[in-house]
Amino acid sequence: MKKIKISIIVPVYNVDNYLKNCLDSLINQTYTNIEIILVNDGSTDNSPNICDMYAEFDERVQVIHKHNEGVSVARNTGLLQATGDYIQFVDSDDILNENSCDLYINIISEFSSLDIVHGGFQKIFEDKCTNIYPLNHHKPIYGQDYIKEYFLSYKTELAVYSCIFNRNFLIDNNILFFKHHIVAEDVYFFIQAYFLAKSVISSHGMHYKYFHRTGSLSDIKVRTLEKSKSRLQLSYDLDELTHLIEDSLLKSLFLDKILTIYIDSCIGGELFRKSHKNLLNKDFVKGKAYRRKTKIKLFFFNINPVIHFQFIKVSMLLRKLSKKYGQH
């Protein structure tokens, strides 16, 4: 019987402070039939040299050096180069638990064909660590059933690094990352994958350590605007996937989620200002609200986005004050 091969794809960009820890966690996997594809996305620090050093040390490591085009293009480059049966995406400042591939292989070997295996992971902050578990499914179910349960309960989190994907399933369905998604770049990818998947299953081991790192605050207004525009485009792109949905309840939940992304993008980036009003499309929001909370949010957004914006600012301030003084 052919031994299952896993391709681990790592986009790399200016992470020389964290890269060695990440790569050590990959080459030390207890399951050894893996290939590690490092896509150096035009790094200007010592990251390229570190990548090359690991490729010389371990023949399973290959490095692709390219000019900077963003994490989405880097992941696509690695995916199209991969030869494994399954694909695992790892961020270059995170860590893959040493038995992660073994845990996935144990489940994959039990069933004849799986499109997606959703694993548990840890979110590590400066002051705390949170375990995120997948939904409780030990037998394969349809991807649309899985994501409907997710929308109904929000008992887990979906992220590209929390899953392992059948490579043929991704290639046959042309599931790739969109270059113009500069934030939440994996959302469209995994939503499309779940909508098309015929067999999704859970793995309840802790597979991955995701480190939440505080970024630079320089030029934050520009970055906030760019991110809001990107999320706005994400809502339009997600809307194009509604034709894939077979279940009416899932469709309502999904449209509601799209609307939430749209409104939050407009409010967060202050896209309701006169200088950005050409970006707004009031027709897009019609008929999408499903949950009561979203209907209320849409009501105030339609009346006056500026008031909505000020209300959110005050609410955030109150939450911060409550958290600050609640600790004393």
Q: Which residue has the higher pLDDT, 278 or 103?
A: 103
pLDDT category at 230 given cuts 50, 70, 90 is confident
CA distances 7 to 31, 163, 191, 194, 291, Å, are: 12, 13, 21, 20, 40
Check whether 264 has a pLDDT greater than 50.
yes
Please determine, for residue 156, whether its predicted confidence score (pLDDT) is greater than 80.
yes
Q: What is the mean pLDDT of residues 26-38?
A: 98
Q: What is the pLDDT of residue 218?
A: 35
220 falls in which pLDDT band (50, 70, 90)?
very low
SS3 category, 230: helix
pLDDT digits (tens, 9 = 90+) for 171-219: 999 999 988 777 788 999 999 999 999 999 999 889 999 998 765 333 3
Q: Mean pLDDT across the stretch 76-84? A: 97
pLDDT value, residue 219: 39
Beta-carbon contacts of 220 under 8 Å, excluding residues fewer than 6 positions away, are none
pLDDT at 312: 63
Lowest mean pLDDT among 114-123, 178-187, 269-278: 269-278
The pLDDT of residue 216 is 37
CB neighbours of residue 111 within 10 Å: 12
Q: Is the pLDDT of residue 315 over 70?
A: no
Residue 43 has a pLDDT of 96
Determine the pLDDT at residue 227.
83
Residue 55 has pLDDT above 90, yes or no: yes
pLDDT given at position 152: 95
pLDDT(118) > 70: yes
164: left (phi over 0), alpha (psi -120 to 50) or beta: beta
> Percent of the chain beyond pLDDT 70?
89
Task: Note the pLDDT of residue 32.
Answer: 97
Q: Is the pLDDT of residue 320 over 80?
A: no
Predicted TM-score (pTM) of this structure: 0.89
Q: What does the alpha-carbon distance between residue 178 and residue 234 come to, in Å, rounded to a whole number? A: 9
pLDDT at residue 161 above 90? yes
**Is it the case that residue 53 has pLDDT exceeding 80?**
yes
Instruction: Please state whether beta strands 61-66 and 34-41 pair in parallel, antiparallel, or not at all (unpaired).
Output: parallel
What confidence score (pLDDT) does residue 324 get? 61
Q: Does 106 have pLDDT greater than 60?
A: yes
Strand 163-166 versus strand 116-124 pairing type? antiparallel
**121-143 pLDDT per residue, tens:** 999 988 889 999 999 998 999 99
- Please report, rounded to a whole number, the percentage of residues in the chain having pLDDT higher than 90: 69
10 Å CB burial of residue 16 (0-12, 13-18, 19+) is middle
**pLDDT the model gives residue 266:** 84
What's the mean per-residue pLDDT of the chain?
89
pLDDT at 165 over 50: yes
Query: Which domains does the chain show, CATH number per domain?
Result: 6-211 (3.90.550.10), 220-326 (no CATH)
